[in-house]
């Protein structure tokens, strides 16, 4: 599809505020200053695709089924209605972040979509626990990993665009869902309707959309975008630009602690002597968020910011600090979050990796302070 066609598709989906990226697949990020609500509206939620956006007619949606097979005692094929009626329906508030969010900050540059900082959002996801479905099918002792299969083909139409999976410990975790609603409404096509994986703490690639089959495997899944360097991080620190053997890369199973300043917006103007509110969000993956600091002088000094507990384990946490600019001129504001194990956002460069994943460098906005 052309950039114009992508723009039209975003407009039709009520996502006119999003910024499409230059790619053969539809990918669009949210301008950071628009991520200003604890629950990100669907209209402002970023869009990530590896392949074509599929389309379904009413009959296909009505007759949609999910098949569960592989290393299970009782393979299942269930309709959407059966999934809703047979299993407890739950809601999980959680951050969804693309693994490549912030890739544009790596030096030297890496391959892949050059995401800014807006490939992230926090939503309420409603569906059934994947664990309940797996228990209904009966796991064989050999089951080690799930494999997910979807309806989105590669952009050239040759094979599946994505086939990710989860280690069994994550598939059985209570926060991992098969979701059919987002923010209290049925999933939209661009967000995986009629059924998607929700895997809080894991990168967005594991939250696979348009799911129609899950296979239990006796080994780590090796589907499309599961091998080589795709969605993998090195097992040792690298020099910037170093590319290790693929054998030294491990599947991403966690997202790092991170924060985002949504106001004031970068490039804005403030007035010396007039108080302003610095607001934003902080979040973490499986390691709980522990604290946040702000610097209003490009990192020379820091002020702690009180944080309230998250609305749920994997939700992001709003922060706010009143600040009165003093000196006039250009000023850079930084946010730095830390987690309960001592992980902290680096002020300068995040650890480099060949695909530019998991960049959690301190977020910064530059504003002009006028007299």
Statement to judge: residues 195 and 105 lie in one domain: yes
Statement to judge: residues 267 and 296 lie in one domain: yes
Q: Which CATH number goes with the domain that contains 329?
A: 2.60.40.650
Statement to judge: residues 115 and 183 lie in one domain: yes
Of 218, 251, 284, which residue is a domain's last? 251
Q: Quote the Cα angle for 164-168-174, to 5°.
A: 100
Per-residue confidence (pLDDT) for residue 85, from 0 to 100: 98
Q: Which residues constitute the domain of residue 275?
A: 258-370
Statement to judge: residues 144 and 244 lie in one domain: yes
Per-residue confidence (pLDDT) for residue 4, from 0 to 100: 79
Statement to judge: residues 242 and 266 lie in one domain: no
Per-residue confidence (pLDDT) for residue 158, from 0 to 100: 85
How many angstroms separate the CA atoms of 208 and 52, rounded? 14
Half-sphere exposure of 164 (CA within 13 A, CB side): 26
Q: Could you give the 3-state DSSP secondary structure of residue 99?
A: coil
- pLDDT digits (tens), the chain, 371 positions: 666 789 999 999 999 999 999 999 999 999 999 999 999 999 999 999 999 999 999 999 999 999 999 999 999 999 999 999 999 999 999 999 999 999 999 999 999 999 999 999 999 999 999 999 999 999 999 999 999 999 999 999 889 999 999 999 999 999 999 999 999 999 999 999 999 999 999 999 999 999 999 999 999 999 999 999 999 999 999 999 999 999 999 999 999 999 999 999 999 999 999 999 999 999 999 999 999 999 999 999 999 999 999 999 999 999 999 999 999 999 999 999 999 999 999 999 999 999 999 999 999 999 999 99
SS in 3 state form for 285-352?
CCCCEEEEEEECCCCCCCEECCCCCCCCCECCEEEEEEECCCCCEEEEEEEEEEECCCCECCCCCCCC
Statement to judge: residues 161 and 112 lie in one domain: yes
Q: Which CATH number goes with the domain that contains 205?
A: 3.90.420.10
Statement to judge: residues 62 and 38 lie in one domain: yes
Statement to judge: residues 246 and 271 lie in one domain: no
Statement to judge: residues 177 and 40 lie in one domain: yes
Statement to judge: residues 230 and 301 lie in one domain: no
Counted domains in the chain:
2
Statement to judge: residues 113 and 217 lie in one domain: yes
Of 191, 221, 251, which residue is a domain's last? 251
CA 120 centroid distance within chain: 5
Q: Is the pTM of this model over 0.95?
A: yes
Of 189, 217, 251, which residue is a domain's last? 251
Statement to judge: residues 140 and 11 lie in one domain: yes
Per-residue confidence (pLDDT) for residue 2, from 0 to 100: 66
């Amino acid at each position: 599809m052309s950039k114009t066609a992508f723009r039209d598709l975003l407009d039709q989906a009520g996502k006119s505020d999003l910024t499409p990226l230059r790619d053969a697949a539809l990918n669009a990020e949210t301008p950071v200053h628009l991520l200003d609500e604890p629950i990100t509206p669907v209209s402002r939620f970023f869009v990530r695709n590896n392949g074509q956006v599929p389309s379904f007619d009413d009959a296909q949606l009505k007759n949609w089924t999910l098949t569960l097979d592989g290393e299970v005692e009782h393979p299942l094929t269930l309709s959407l209605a059966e999934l809703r009626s047979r299993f407890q329906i739950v809601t999980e508030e959680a951050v969804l972040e693309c693994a490549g969010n912030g890739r544009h900050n790596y030096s030297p540059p890496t391959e892949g979509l050059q995401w800014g900082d807006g490939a992230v959002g926090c939503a309420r996801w409603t569906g059934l626990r994947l664990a309940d479905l797996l228990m209904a099918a009966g796991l064989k002792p050999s089951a080690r990993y799930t494999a997910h299969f979807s309806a989105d083909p590669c952009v050239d139409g040759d094979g599946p665009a994505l086939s990710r999976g989860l280690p069994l410990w994550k598939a059985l975790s209570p926060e991992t869902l098969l979701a059919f609603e987002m923010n209290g409404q049925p999933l939209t096509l661009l967000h995986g309707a009629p059924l998607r994986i929700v895997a809080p703490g894991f990168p967005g690639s594991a939250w696979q959309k348009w799911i129609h089959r899950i296979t239990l495997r006796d080994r780590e899944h090796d589907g499309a975008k599961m091998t080589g360097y795709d969605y993998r991080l090195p097992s040792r620190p690298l020099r910037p630009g170093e590319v290790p053997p693929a054998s030294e890369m491990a599947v991403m199973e966690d997202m790092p602690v991170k924060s985002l300043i949504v106001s004031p917006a970068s490039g804005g103007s403030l007035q010396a002597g007039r108080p302003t509110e610095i607001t934003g969000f902080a979040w973490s993956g499986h390691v709980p968020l522990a604290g946040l600091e702000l610097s209003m002088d490009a990192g020379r000094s820091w002020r702690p910011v009180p944080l309230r507990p998250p609305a749920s384990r994997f939700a992001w946490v709003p922060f706010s600090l009143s600040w009165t600019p003093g000196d006039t001129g250009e000023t850079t504001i930084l946010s730095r979050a830390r987690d309960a194990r001592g992980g902290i956002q680096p002020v300068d460069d995040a650890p480099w990796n060949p695909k530019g994943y998991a960049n959690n460098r301190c977020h910064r906005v530059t504003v002009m302070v006028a007299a």
